[in-house]
Structure 1
Amino acid sequence: MPAPRTVLLTGAAGGLGTLMRDLLPDYGYALRLLDVRPVEGADAITADLADQDAVREAVRGVDAIIHLAGISLEARFEKILRANIEGTYHLYEAARQEGVGRIVFASSNHAVGYTPRPQGGTPLDPSAPIPVDTPRRPDTFYGLSKCFGEDLAQLYWDKHGLETVSVRIGSCFPETTSVRMLSVWMSPADGARLFHAALTAEHVGHTVVHGSSANTRLWWDLGTARALGYEPQDDSEPWAEKLIAEQGELDPDNEAHARLGGHFVTDPPIWPD
């Protein structure tokens, strides 16, 4: 499909949002920026996703949405409910009301965080990658909210014809900082490539893809992402020798190393006060 001209970027003040603010205009997009925190931009809106009127106003007139807003770490369920679950619903309902045709939803590896990682996944010890249709196994309330977002996207496609690409993001940072991240890292440049592919591919319905670079130690299958036209160009391997020397190889007997979600699996739960 032709590239949408105006794209609403929610969570524009966050880490990933800041990276995409710099990279996506190179693909020809005019970005409308939305965040609960003020962000500089010619078309920037400061609003909370809890404010349904403000969300609908932000959505009005855009061609597509990249939804990055919300809490990106574990938190009390009440906070996750308000920001990630109710907020995502408000966005989808506003998109339906305003006739927006496509959303790119930032899902997460933590929607399947309890999935055992491939025990190989290195150049010398390959093993089968995790498929995109692996059963969801959230590792936190945060991961649970991403499962909800994927199901909400499916509902709005089936019921209202609103298309979504749900991107299960690994770790999107300028460089890799842990041995685990070597297998799930997505460079910012590849992130922009993937979001662009998700915005422009034909007939996506609701498609779930894994979001990472073409890492030598990749744990999961990028087939559905590549089917959108995504061609990752980066690899975390240049950081491997240094990180392994500092941190050691992953220990399969350590639950945080043995599961896709890493320390999210083993961190103490965040209970309501």
Structure 2
Amino acid sequence: MSTYLITGATGFIGKRLVKLLIAKNHKVVLMTRKPVQGHDSIVFDFENDDYSKINLKGIDVIFHLAGIAHNMKSFKNQNDLYKKINSDSVLKLAEVALKYNVKKFIFVSTVKAGGIKLNSRKMISEIDQNTPEGIYAKSKRDAELRVLALAVNSKMFLSIIRPALVYGPGVKGNLDIMLK
């Protein structure tokens, strides 16, 4: 039985992943901003907390799902916040994972990191590496490149997943906007 750490565990994908792993009798630890009743938790705020205080002893696999995706409001320092949460946090958490000999680090990025063109009808594949558009896509691509550089000469297995539009009961974000 493996022990999984899930960031973004209270989000749309995270909730379902936690449920699936528990159903398969894995131990699950949530990394959230607030404790979640009924679950082992590491309380951590990617924007403000100190990464050196994270204890990953006993963690085998990390699913890093946390990030900013659908911030519909424009504000000062928006680029800085996206970089800090969507890129810097990935690298810093992966560095802590290496320190604790975590076996696998699975980073959930976005299809937009591959530079998908919004008005294009061209099919894309995993080998397409166009320039990402927008701060969300750019921050995710930056995270991919940084964590790849870190993991390439390590013993930690790294997987980057680039999901496209996510949907299902209770969905928010792009699909919710399109349906309105």
Give the helix-richer structure, 1 or 2: 1
Match of 1:168 in 2: 162
Match of 2:91 in 1: 89
CA offset at residue 41 of structure 1?
Answer: 3.1
Match of 1:10 in 2: 7
Structure 2 unaligned blocks of 5 or more: none
Match of 2:127 in 1: 133
Kindly tell me: are residues 145 and 53 of structure 1, through their superposed partners in 2, closer, same or farther at Cα, counting changes over 3 Å?
same
- 1:37 pairs, out of 34, 37, 40, with 34
Q: Tell me if 1:158 matches 2:160.
A: no
Alignment size in residue pairs: 169
Match of 1:230 in 2: none
Q: Deviations over 1:190-219 (max 9, x none)?
A: xxxxxxxxxxxxxxxxxxxxxxxxxxxxxx
Kindly tell me: are residues 137 and 40 of structure 1, through their superposed partners in 2, closer, same or farther at Cα, counting changes over 3 Å?
farther
Q: Which amino acid aligns with 1:39?
A: V
Separation of aligned partners in 2, 1:29 and 1:118: 42
Match of 2:18 in 1: 21
Q: Is the 8 A contact 1:157 1:163 kept in 2?
A: yes
Q: Is the 8 A contact 1:112 1:139 kept in 2?
A: no
Single out whichever of 63-72 and 145-154 deviates more from structure 2: 145-154
Q: Is the 8 A contact 1:108 1:170 kept in 2?
A: yes
Kindly tell me: are residues 15 and 116 of structure 1, through their superposed partners in 2, closer, same or farther at Cα, counting changes over 3 Å?
closer
Q: Is the 8 A contact 1:113 1:137 kept in 2?
A: yes
Kindly tell me: are residues 135 and 91 of structure 1, through their superposed partners in 2, closer, same or farther at Cα, counting changes over 3 Å?
same
Q: TM-score, normalised by structure 2?
A: 0.80
CA offset at residue 135 of structure 1?
Answer: 1.2
Q: Which amino acid aligns with 2:15?
A: T
Q: Is the 8 A contact 1:117 1:130 kept in 2?
A: no
Query: Moved runs in structure 1, 4+ residues, more than 4 A?
Result: none
Q: Which amino acid aligns with 1:52?
A: Y
Equivalences for 1:61-72 in 2 at 5 Å?
61-72=58-69
Q: Which amino acid aligns with 2:50?
A: D
Separation of aligned partners in 1, 2:93 and 2:137: 19
Q: Is the 8 A contact 2:144 2:160 kept in 1?
A: yes
Match of 1:213 in 2: none
- The CA RMSD over aligned residues, in Å, is 2.7
Q: Is the 8 A contact 1:12 1:39 kept in 2?
A: no
CA offset at residue 176 of structure 1?
Answer: 10
Equivalences for 1:106-117 in 2 at 5 Å?
106-115=108-117
CA offset at residue 159 of structure 1?
Answer: 2.5
Match of 2:52 in 1: 53
Q: Tell me if 1:73 matches 2:70.
A: yes
Separation of aligned partners in 2, 1:118 and 1:176: 29
Identity of aligned residues (%): 24
Q: Is the 8 A contact 2:116 2:124 kept in 1?
A: no
Match of 1:145 in 2: 139
